[in-house]
């Protein structure tokens, strides 16, 4: 995992995700199908959520979040992005409507968004991995990067 932060309170995060999802669905004119949301996070405690369509682009920011301590002290700022299906993320957050002590959000670039939830009253924890989704252009970009890396390695 490249970046992990303590998530904002779920009562603040859920409505933001719901609104972004509704903006994306309304702009695309469809209520079915995948609704990707992009997560950007860095080790300084910054998290941005965004959606895009042909018609609209919307972004919400959370600042001052606590780092989960994966970065070494004195190291450079590390940032990472992930794109997940907001329908699945929203369902997951609504299912986690129980009393939570802490929620950590982590990103493994190009692989997954991780939610690590510590339940209140010492009841244990729940880890949810949401798979990274491709939004069309990502595959071509990934193929180009792999091709460039292979060409550089061959030289």
Q: Domains in the chain, ordered, with CATH?
A: 3-150 (3.10.150.10)
Per-residue pLDDT tens over the stretch 51-82: 887 888 899 999 999 988 655 555 678 888 99
* Predicted TM-score of the model (pTM): 0.74
Q: What does pLDDT average to over the chain?
A: 78
Buried b or exposed e, range 87-104, using 16+ CB within 10 angstroms:
bebbebbeebeeebeebb
Please check whether residue 37 is in contact with residue 51, taking contact to mean a CB–CB distance below 8 angstroms: yes
Q: Tell me the residue length of the chain.
A: 155
């Amino acid at each position: 995992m490249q970046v992990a932060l303590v998530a904002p309170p779920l009562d603040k995060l859920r409505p933001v995700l719901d609104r972004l999802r509704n903006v994306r669905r309304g702009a695309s004119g469809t209520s079915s199908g995948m609704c990707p949301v992009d997560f950007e996070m860095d080790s300084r405690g910054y998290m941005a959520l965004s959606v895009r369509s042909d018609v609209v682009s919307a972004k919400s920011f959370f600042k001052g979040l606590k780092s989960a301590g994966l970065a070494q002290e004195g190291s450079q700022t590390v940032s990472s992005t992930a794109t997940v299906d907001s329908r699945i993320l929203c369902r997951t957050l609504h299912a986690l409507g129980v009393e939570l002590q802490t929620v950590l959000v982590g990103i493994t670039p190009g692989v997954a968004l991780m939610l690590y939830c510590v339940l209140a009253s010492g009841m244990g924890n729940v880890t949810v991995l949401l798979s990274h989704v491709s939004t069309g252009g990502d595959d071509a970009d990934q193929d180009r990067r792999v091709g460039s890396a292979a060409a550089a390695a061959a030289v």
